[in-house]
Amino acid sequence: MRNTGRKRGGGRPLGRICAAYCLAALAAALGWLYSSLPDHISLEPGQTLTLPRFAYIEPMGGSGARNVASTRTVGSYQTTLSIGGVLPVKTVRAVITPRPSVLVCGTPFGVKMFSEGALVVGFTDISGPDGAPRNPAKEAGLRLGDRVICIGDTATENNDAVKTALENAAGQPVRVVYIRDGSQQQTVLTPCWDAAAGQWRAGMWVRDSSAGVGTLTFIDEENGVFAGLGHSISDGDTGQSIALRSGEIVPCEIVGCTQGTAGSPGELKGKFIGSHAVGSIEINGENGVYGSTRTSFAGQVMEVAFAQEVVAGPAQILTTTQGQTPRLYDVEIEKVTDAEAVRNMVIHVTDPDLLAQTGGIVQGMSGSPVLQNGRLAGAVTHVLVNDPTRGYAIFAETMLAQAEAIETEE
């Protein structure tokens, strides 16, 4: 009789496939968890290491009273984070430090910055001797966003220096040194005589300075350091972060506002008050502008929340929409992540007064302090262009670390 039954072990391939899929899913989940967890964790002396956003994560073998962080003094050590104290996920550095406090501001401030080199922000063709259009800068390979630092023997720290260098070349080929994507490069440019303007030109528009309005986040009064914006100051035409040569902050008041709508960010309109600088800018970085203060500022002293303590839920932002006096407005922190360097939170404006005034987050609010549970949790950085009621924010701990770098350099 023929045996028509299935061979023994016929289900094994299917079982192996299921097991492989399960292992792949587990690996993906652990990979996501690894990237989501912070690389370092700050704690007060005696504070238990807990991650409110990851309730199931705890130090390896350190559950409950055995949590080793609760017995450590000031210093740092490595600890392995695990699922339930059993399955290791990531080794991080725990830093035990007294909890910092800063003067929280929320007031507007004016920014004046001068760039290192002349930033190429546009091109325009020139009518050559034969009447044909020419563009020496494009012919030399220059692009928007390039930062010209030298033409011939002339350092091009401002627009006038560029003009002088072209006049000195007088139509002869001249070496141009420029910065592109952080790398120094060089080319040769031959200026063209512009009969209409009566001068030698390169066919490029350059900018050597920038000015604008932002919000002051906090002051470290002990060290005389300020922090604001939560993002770098960039050129409006090229989007390139401005390489800082020098800069200062000045008093400012808000005199109006353009409301934000979907697809069109709003903007606070500010007016500089006098020309007396109240601080010098020393860093224009991806997480804000920082520098030294020259006078005292108004504000409230508050503790800084460590990054792992910031959670989704109710919060407030302290911002100024008229004059120089900030107000608190209700927001909801909808998402918190350690995976990105600066976009750590998504906040949703829920306060009807702020929505009526501005439509939500607008330009000029960058740097507005985000407060949660009586502590400084972060600062507003950007608006979501298609939904002005929502925006991004950065951890205050990240900004404070950058401010402390200034203290170290001094």
Catalytic residues: 231, 351, 366
- E strands within 259-338? 267-272, 279-285, 288-293, 300-303, 313-319, 327-336
How far apart, in whole angstroms, are the C-alpha atoms of residue 33 and residue 90? 9
Pairing, β 40-43 against β 87-96: parallel
How far apart, in whole angstroms, are the C-alpha atoms of residue 141 and residue 187? 7
How far apart, in whole angstroms, are the C-alpha atoms of residue 407 and residue 343? 25
Only one residue has tokens 């004059």, namely 323
Element (H, E) at 79: strand 75-83
Element (H, E) at 118: strand 108-123
Give which of 131, 12, 149, 37 is closest to 93, Cα–Cα. 37
User: With the CA atoms of 385, 386, 387 and 393 taken in that order, what torsion angle do they form, in degrees rounded to the nearest 10?
Assistant: -40
User: With the CA atoms of 327, 328, 332 and 333 taken in that order, what torsion angle do they form, in degrees rounded to the nearest 10?
Assistant: 90
Pairing, β 174-180 against β 183-189: antiparallel
How many CA atoms lie less than 13 Å away from 88 in the CB half-sphere?
7
- Residue 283's φ and ψ, nearest 5 degrees, are -135, 130
Rounded to 5, what percent of the chain is helix, strand, coil? 15, 45, 35
- Residue 134's φ and ψ, nearest 5 degrees, are -135, 155
Tokens read off for 33: 């968890």
Only one residue has tokens 């390489």, namely 243
